[in-house]
Amino acid sequence: MPRSPQSMPPVDVISDEPELSLDEACAACGLTREEIGAYVAEGIAEARGPVVEWRFSRLTVVRLSRARRLERDLGLNPAGALLALDLMAEIERLQRRLALFEDEG
Amino acid sequence: MQYKDYYAILGVNKDATQDDIKRAYRKLARKYHPDLNKDKSAEDKFKEVSEAHEVLGDPEKRVAYDQIGKGYQPGEEFRPPPGWDSGFEFSGGPRQASPEDMAAFSDFFESLFGGARTGRHTRAHGFHARGEDHRARIEISIEDAFTGARRAIHLQMPKVTADGHVVAEERTLNVNIPKGVRAGQHIHLKGQGAPGHGQGEAGDLYLEIAFAQHPLYHVDGRDLYLNLPVAPWEAALGGKVKAPTPGGVVDVTVPANSAQGRKLRLKGRGIPGNPPGDLYVVLQIALPPSGSDKAKRLYREMADELAFNPRASLGV
């Protein structure tokens, strides 16, 4: 049964601003501190210096949970999952570019 | 409820080894994983493949499935005999699929192995945790990004009912599309994901923005591209022509001696932002029809009067 439209939920565009601490990032994407640590070691986040100073953007959190799903479902390691995400982003960029030319024919 | 042939779904024989099953699953998962394949049909396919793997990839479940499925054909009406699982042991060991994937499994799976999930919920009694985050992809128009808009979006989310069944619940959310949003950006709706467990707070909803195909404009980041037809004399002699933009019609100055495909930049006329994108007008020279005698005469005159070889650069 479709529900009637709910009242307007607050919306924000996910920013690149590193605003979440490690624990907040864990809560937002359901990964453990160790799992996030493994991605930090592969260079996913802006995290630098001691762990208490690590900060993550919302965009990074989205990427982390995607990477984690790929890791689990495809049997990848963090480096492989990140590589897959980078390649996907590149493919999408190229497809958008391609669409510009295909329509001109 | 229909019998599902998990072996056929994974494309393996009934005597496949656990390694064969894992290989077949991984191969299909790489092809249909919703994070890698944006087709809606891919997501359904992936769920089916995950469900098959959840059963066949677990030796305990596989033995039970083989036993119960003897003599059934795919698609055939299926009813598990009462108490069928009494002779099987399920360790309830670590699952391969995530809870959110499991929630989307079929009634067939549910009727065979759903009991294990109920058990898990019982164990979780008195346990509070934040609900899972949900993700969805929505298509908006370029105009929505240009001005900002309020859109009703329809989402389907799997929901486990009190008696342990899974239903797809449709809901409609009114979402403010922020002005200046770009394809590939995510918008975040706090508290609109799965409900929390116990007194845990609800998860969040992330919507990935994509632009619907537009009859006039193409998008690249914040920049827009518009193919603008011009007459040969407009391109040759220059002049002011009208061009549509999402913000309204504007006058564009075509420089004299413009070639086919020349790009003119209208600074700041793309998708708003800081800085705003640009609108690129790409000139497409359109030929006047040569049907009338007058047009034919003018074309012939040009052919006679102009020394023009369009293939000079090809050396012919």
Nearest to B132 among A30, A88, A104 (CB): A30
In chain A, the percentage of residues whose pLDDT exceeds 90 is: 8
By the CB < 8 Å criterion, does B188 face chain A?
yes
Q: Are the beta carbons of A9 and B175 separated by less than 8 Å?
A: yes
Residues contacting residue B177 through CB under 8 Å, at least 6 positions apart:
B140, B144, B145, B148, B149, B150, B151, B187, B209
Q: Are B42 and B28 in contact (CB under 8 A)?
A: no
**Sequence ranges of chain B with CATH classification 2.60.260.20:** 124-211, 217-314
Contacts with B224 from chain A: Cβ below 8 Å:
none
Q: CATH for B6-113?
A: 1.10.287.110
Nearest to B187 among A11, A29, A103 (CB): A11
pLDDT along chain B (316 residues), means of 10: 87 91 92 86 89 88 80 69 55 54 72 54 50 79 89 74 67 86 86 78 84 89 93 94 92 94 93 91 93 93 90 90
- In the sheet with B186-189, reading across from the earlier edge strand, the strands are A11-13, B186-189, B205-211, B134-140
Domain B124-211: which CATH number of 2.60.260.20, 2.102.10.10, 1.10.3720.10, 2.120.10.30: 2.60.260.20
Homologous superfamily of B217-314 in CATH?
Urease metallochaperone UreE, N-terminal domain (2.60.260.20)
Would you tell me which residues 38-97 of chain A have a C-beta closer than 8 angstroms to some C-beta of chain B?
58-59, 62, 65-66, 69-70, 72-75, 84-85, 88-89, 92, 96-97
**Pseudo-torsion of CA B125, B107, B59, B119, nearest 10°?**
10
Supply the pLDDT for residue B288: 92
- Entry pTM: 0.57
The token pair that represents B117 in the structure block: 């999930």
- Measured from the Cβ of residue B141, the count of other Cβ atoms closer than 10 Å reads 16
Q: Are the beta carbons of A99 and B35 separated by less than 8 Å?
A: no
Residues contacting residue B192 through CB under 8 Å, at least 6 positions apart:
A9, B134, B173, B202, B204, B205
pLDDT tens string A17-62: 788 889 988 888 888 999 898 888 888 766 777 888 888 888 888 8
Q: Are A71 and A77 in contact (CB under 8 A)?
A: yes
DSSP structural state of residue B258 = P
Supply the pLDDT for residue B98: 61
